[in-house]
Amino acid sequence: MTLTDWIGFSGVSILVAAYFLNLINVIQKESIAYLLANTCGAAIACFASYLLHYWPFIVLEGCWTAVSLTALVRFQMRKGPAA
């Protein structure tokens, strides 16, 4: 496997792990852990797709990153500033 493969594998593994942990009720979809995992996993997978020049997945993972990042920002705004 190439470095690009490992990068993509890492990103997808984070996404799948977050989804699985949500399915078995270990983390909730509104939790910071889930939102961070989705944002980071999608961004890493997007980067790997960019390295491969594979546009369909660049768009998919880029959108996933943007949506997850938006949810993460909203979560932080609801929570308020850190004390």
Q: Is the pLDDT of residue 83 over 60?
A: no
Taking the whole predicted model, whether its pTM rises above 0.85 is answered as yes
Q: Is 36 buried (19+), middle (13-18) or exposed (0-12) by CB count in 10 A?
A: middle
Q: Is 38 buried (19+), middle (13-18) or exposed (0-12) by CB count in 10 A?
A: buried
Give per-residue pLDDT as tens, 11-48.
999 999 999 999 999 999 999 999 999 999 999 999 99
Number of domains in the chain: 1
Given CA atoms 36, 71, 17, 2 in this order, what sign does their dihedral have? negative
* Mean pLDDT score of the chain: 94
Domain boundaries, position 49:
3-79
- Provide the percentage of residues in the chain whose pLDDT is more than 90: 88
pLDDT band at 82 (very low <50, low <70, confident <90, very high): low
